[in-house]
Amino acid sequence: MKLTPLNIVSSICLVIGVLLLWNKQPVQRPGQIDMTYTLAGFSLLSAVVFFVSDLIFRKFITSLKKLWIIEGVLVIFIVILVFIIKSSIS
């Protein structure tokens, strides 16, 4: 198995999701919404999406150098998009 940017990101999402499920902390204040399970589910779903996307990219792009460039640009684009959405919401 080749190491690619989407493999790295999917592994990170998987670890974050498992840690969120494992280290469940109780809600501190009454009336506060607990988003731990939602964030854990989102992280695990993201890991699956990144893993499947990596498999699809590998099928169509045979050169490892081109694969790293395309997947790296995709990861950078996703990170920038998340920061833009986060800054526009808050």
pLDDT in tens, 17-58: 999 888 866 666 766 667 788 889 999 999 999 999 999 999
Residue 61 · residue 70 · CB < 8 Å: yes
Percent over 90 (pLDDT), the chain: 69
Range of the structural domain that residue 51 is part of: 5-24+34-89
Residue 83 in domain: yes
pLDDT of 2 reads: 81
Q: How is residue 60 written in tokens?
A: 């169509």
pLDDT of 23 reads: 82
Report the 10 Å Cβ neighbour count for 39. Answer: 14
The dihedral over CA atoms of 33, 38, 40, 44, expressed in degrees to the nearest 10, equals: -170
Number of domains the chain contains: 1
Residue 44 in domain: yes
Q: What is the pTM of this model?
A: 0.82
Residue 29 in domain: no
Residue 11 in domain: yes
Report the distance separating Cα 17 and Cα 37, nearest Å.
Answer: 9
Q: Which residue has the tokens 């919401």?
A: 89
Residue 69 in domain: yes
Residue 78 in domain: yes
